[in-house]
Amino acid sequence: MKNQYSQFIKNEAKRLGFLNCGIAKAAFLETEAPRLEAWLNNGYQGSMAYMENHFDKRLDPRLLVDDAKSIVSLSFNYYPSQFQNSESYKISKYAYGQDYHHVIKSKLRALLASIQDEIGAVNGRCFVDSAPVLERAWAERAGLGWNGKHSLLIEKQKGSFFFLAELIIDLELEYDTPTKTDHCGECTRCIDACPTEAILPNNVIDSNKCISHLTIELKDSIPNQFKNDMENWMFGCDICQDVCPWNRFSKPHNEPLFAPKEALLNFNKKDWEEITEETFGKIFQKSAVKRTKYSGLKRNIAFLKDR
């Protein structure tokens, strides 16, 4: 039955539009524990103080869901078919459309409901980058891919332009083989291309230097030391992914809710510099860009402009 249930879950995930689905046994992440502790002790979390919370839960999903048995890891493609005007301040591709948290969580809930309809009383929770879950570690254990030098999960023949999500459930399933091979080899393109030198050895990111952190998470002023290194990114950054050879396999998604507004694609620098709060609200309605708010985006644009 475990094999039958696992196959049902994977078929349902595909039907709901997920790129891939793998399953791992719920357990304590023994290998990741010292790495997470060292990352926090070095202050690499930057202004993301929330990363210091729930240390035990980050390492053991059984503390999040009673009697958890399985972690169902899923990936969802967000690579766009159209891109911003090249003469523009830039937004990370993942934020072109509606906020992925809401879009994917609704699909996860549908998947959990299907599991309950098919199998019976299965208890579980849905997670999309908004709880203390080490999603890349679980995706790696579930065989979805490997962590690249830029710390993002890479899937062979698919690249890395996808979201990760998890269902933690109290159902025992057949488990996939973890990804053990690092297919990055000697390639260092992401490290070499990062203008702020945020990518450290051993797949470690110093968030204090990461453009995504500086433009989204950081609420204080962006340090002047990065004045000439931002490469026109006003929300997030895709540099390390854009240069990754594995992303030559990326194919456009077919999720209508991730389609960008025309203005986002066509605006030039002057348009962004003159954007009003009303226009901001229209372009980024239901968007992840609202995390930085109008004031945050204006701060980022001003920083980029005053070089």
Residues with catalytic roles: 129
Euclidean distance between CA atoms 64 and 166, whole angstroms: 12
Q: What share of the chain is helix, strand, coil (3-state, %, to 5)?
A: 40, 15, 45
Helices then strands (H, E): number in the chain? 12, 10
Alpha-carbon torsion angle 240, 243, 246, 248, nearest 10: 130
Q: Are 91 and 84 in contact (CB under 8 A)?
A: yes
DSSP at 251: -
Euclidean distance between CA atoms 37 and 31, whole angstroms: 11
Residues contacting 175, CB < 8 A, separation 6+: 23, 24, 25, 70, 142
DSSP at 81: S
Residues contacting 70, CB < 8 A, separation 6+: 23, 24, 25, 26, 168, 169, 171, 172, 173, 175
Q: Which amino acid is located at 172 in the chain?
A: E
Burial status of residue 200 (CB atoms within 10 A of its CB: 0-12, 13-18, 19 or more): middle
Question: For the chain, first and last CA: distance in Å?
Answer: 62
Q: Token match 């490290």: residue?
A: 191
Q: Token match 């890479």: residue?
A: 154
Q: Are 244 and 153 in contact (CB under 8 A)?
A: no
